[in-house]
Amino acid sequence: MMRKYSLFLVLFVLFIIEGTVFQIFAPDQFGSDLLFIPRWSFMLIIFAGIFRGRGTGTLYGVIFGIMFDVIYSALLGIYTFAMGLLAYLLSISIPFFQRNLPAAVFLTITAVILLEYFLYGMMLLLGMTAIPHQEFLYSRFLPSLAMNFFVLAAAAYPLRKWFEYIKRNEDDGLL
C-alpha cells in the first residue's frame, strides 16, 4: 500500500522541504544577494511524467501547482497553470528519454527554465514585481538553475531506478 502512494509522499516531503527547511539554510539569511529557489518537487513531477506517463505528470503538476499557489503565491492559478501545462508538454514518455538519462535531465532542466521565466514574465506583466531582467538573471535565475541542476544530476540515476522498480512491481501485480 505504501509503495502505491510513494510518489505522492516523496513529492509532499520535497514540497515541505522547499518551503521550510531549505529557507533556514538559504544564503540570503547569511547576507548574500543570491537567491537559490529549489524546484525539486517540480523536477520530480517532470521526471515522473517522463517515466510514468503524461497523465501522471500533468495530474501531479496541477495538484502541486495548486499547493504552491495557495501557500507561496499572491496570484492564484499561476503555478497551477504553469506546472500543469509544462508537465503536460514536457512529459515525453518515450523510450529514448527513459533510456537516455542525460536527455531526461536536459528535458527536466528545460522545464525548470521555462517555469522560472514564465513566472517572472507573468509577475512582471501583472506589475507584481519590478525586478529588472539583469538582476533576476544574475541574482535568482542562474544560482537557482545551477543548484537545481546539481541536485538533479545527483538524483537522476536513483530516481530512474526507483521508477523502474515501481513499474516492475506494477507489472508483477505487487502494487
Q: C-alpha cell of 164?
A: 523502474
Among 50, 47, 44, smallest CA distance to 17 is for 44
Cβ-count burial of 24 within 10 angstroms (0-12 exposed, 13-18 middle, 19+ buried)?
Answer: exposed
The total of other beta-carbon atoms located within 10 Å of residue 163's CB is 17
pLDDT in tens, 65-76: 999 999 988 889
pLDDT in tens, 125-142: 999 999 999 999 999 999
What's the rounded Cα separation, in Å, for the pair 102 and 124? 33
The answer to whether the CB of 15 falls within 8 A of the CB of 67 is yes
Q: C-alpha cell of 62?
A: 496541477
pTM: 0.93
Amino acid at 130: A
Please report the pLDDT score of residue 36 as a whole number: 87
What's the rounded Cα separation, in Å, for the pair 115 and 100? 23
* Percentage of the chain lying above the pLDDT 70 cut: 95
